[in-house]
């Protein structure tokens, strides 16, 4: 296992510069610059509508009208070689209700890794992914008969199938009870520590920020901070990441007012 500081010169998993996204009539992301380091859990936090899902879609290459620089694992976002190297779970993940947990995974595994020769490896990947999300006892249950949290974990298992180097998870813990939430965060940290997976996880629940190695705090299409939770709290003189976020929001508003009056 590697530790973070042993690879200071390694390129980040994601590097963005002047990243801008237009959706309909609106510029939804405005000239963002940030990096996501490898092998760590980075939280993408901000209020509803600030642009988290848009940013994630840009990273996985499904967002239109993206300009600026956006490199993912050393390639431009959306590059074909990233298809199996990046796992993505959308905010409203879909699984097939009329298939069992294993059948759902078999289906996606076949798409990810087609060809008969791959069948054995696929079976292993599926079994491992089901175990990763702690659904082994539900392997043969129909997805339609699972709870909401269990269905979410099936989607997460799909994203884990190809042993992705980068996992992009859009609000994976929404609506989960505290025990499941804790278990999932434990899984995220295990993936980072033991498989060297990079995780980019969005949330609008600020207390989840404390569980991340690094944070990207967003508001209204812009990045307010790109830092560790500790550094954020320290430099804003705040006890919690939530308080630090509010501090940064107030400071940005004050700066905007100063700009207005000196114009």
Ligand X SMILES: Nc1ncnc2c1ncn2[C@@H]1O[C@H](COP(=O)(O)OP(=O)(O)OP(=O)(O)O)[C@@H](O)[C@H]1O
Positions that interact with Mg ion (CB under 5 A): 52-53, 91
Question: Does residue 173 touch ligand X according to CB under 6 A?
Answer: no
Distance CA 67, CA 55 (A): 12
54 binds, among ligand X, Mg ion, none (CB under 5 to 8 A by kind): ligand X
Which of 59, 146 has the CB closer to ligand X? 59
259 binds, among ligand X, Mg ion, none (CB under 5 to 8 A by kind): none
Only one residue has tokens 């940030």, namely 34
Distance CA 12, CA 104 (A): 32
For helices 148-160 and 178-195, what crossing angle results, to 10°?
A: 10
Distance CA 240, CA 133 (A): 29
Nearest to 241 by CA among 261, 263, 213: 213
Question: Does residue 30 touch ligand X according to CB under 6 A?
Answer: no
In the complex, minimum distance from the CB of residue 84 to ligand X, in angstroms, rounded to a whole number: 25
Which of 49, 114 has the CB closer to ligand X? 49
Stretch that binds ligand X, among 24-32, 97-105, 153-161, 193-201 (CB under 6 A): 24-32
Which of 193, 252 has the CB closer to ligand X? 252
In the complex, minimum distance from the CB of residue 216 to ligand X, in angstroms, rounded to a whole number: 12
In the complex, minimum distance from the CB of residue 52 to Mg ion, in angstroms, rounded to a whole number: 5
Three-class SS state of 180: helix
Which of 15, 204 has the CB closer to ligand X? 204
Yes or no: say if 45 and 215 are a contact pair by the CB < 8 Å rule.
Answer: yes
DSSP codes joined into one string, 187-235: HHHHHHHHH--EEEEEES-GGGGGG-SEEEEEETTEEEEEE-HHHHHHH
In the complex, minimum distance from the CB of residue 83 to Mg ion, in angstroms, rounded to a whole number: 23
Question: Does residue 53 touch ligand X according to CB under 6 A?
Answer: yes
In the complex, minimum distance from the CB of residue 209 to Mg ion, in angstroms, rounded to a whole number: 16
Footprint of ligand X on this chain (CB under 6 A)? 23-24, 26, 28, 46, 48-54, 91, 204
């Amino acid at each position: 296992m590697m530790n973070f500081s042993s690879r200071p010169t390694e390129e980040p998993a994601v590097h963005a510069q002047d990243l801008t996204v237009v959706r309909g009539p609106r510029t939804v992301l405005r000239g963002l610059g940030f990096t996501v380091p490898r092998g760590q859990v980075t939280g993408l936090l901000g209020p509803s509508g600030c642009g988290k899902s848009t940013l994630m879609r840009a990273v996985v290459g499904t967002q239109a009208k993206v300009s600026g620089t956006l490199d993912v694992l050393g390639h431009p976002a959306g590059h074909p070689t990233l298809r199996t190297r990046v796992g993505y779970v959308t905010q409203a993940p879909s699984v097939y209700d009329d298939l069992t947990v294993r059948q759902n995974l078999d289906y996606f595994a076949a798409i990810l890794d087609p060809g008969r020769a791959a069948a054995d490896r696929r079976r292993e990947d599926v079994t491992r992914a089901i175990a990763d999300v702690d659904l082994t006892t539900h392997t043969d249950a129909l997805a339609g008969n699972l709870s909401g949290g269990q269905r979410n974990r099936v989607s997460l298992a799909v994203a884990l199938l190809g042993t992705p180097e980068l996992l992009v998870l859009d609000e994976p813990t929404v609506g989960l009870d505290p025990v499941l939430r804790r278990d999932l965060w434990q899984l995220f940290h295990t993936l980072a520590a033991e498989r060297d997976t990079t995780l980019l996880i969005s949330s609008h629940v600020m207390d989840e920020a404390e569980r991340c190695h690094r944070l990207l705090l967003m508001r209204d299409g812009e990045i307010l901070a790109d830092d560790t939770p500790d550094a954020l709290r320290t430099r804003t003189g705040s006890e919690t990441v939530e308080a630090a976020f509010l501090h940064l929001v107030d400071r940005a508003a004050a700066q905007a007012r100063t700009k207005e009056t000196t114009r």
